[in-house]
Amino acid sequence: MMDLKSNLKSLQPHTVAVATTFLASFANFSTVGMIYGTYNSLFGGEKSAIIGKNVWKLLVSGMAVSLLSAMLVGLFVW
């Protein structure tokens, strides 16, 4: 993966805005782990098992929202 920090000066502001929006999103494994841990501690086994079965849906929906947010930033930052 490309190191953005070392190449930041050579990138256009549009690219930096889109990449920053996407990378600072909720589409990552740690966020899904926090959601699962919270449900497990608050609601117990049955409801946390439902979350556990649908982890991949959480990741896909998080990725879709992140891409949509980055797309909107890309439309307005020029």
Domain extents for the chain?
27-76
Banded model confidence at residue 29, pLDDT cuts 50, 70, 90: confident
Q: For residue 58, what are its two tokens?
A: 């959480």
pLDDT, tens digit, for every residue of 58-72?
888 888 888 898 899
Which pLDDT score, from 0 to 100, does residue 25 have? 78
CB burial readout 35-65, b (16+ within 10 A) else e: bbeebeeeeeeeebeebeeeeeebbeebeee
Banded model confidence at residue 2, pLDDT cuts 50, 70, 90: low
pTM of the model: 0.66
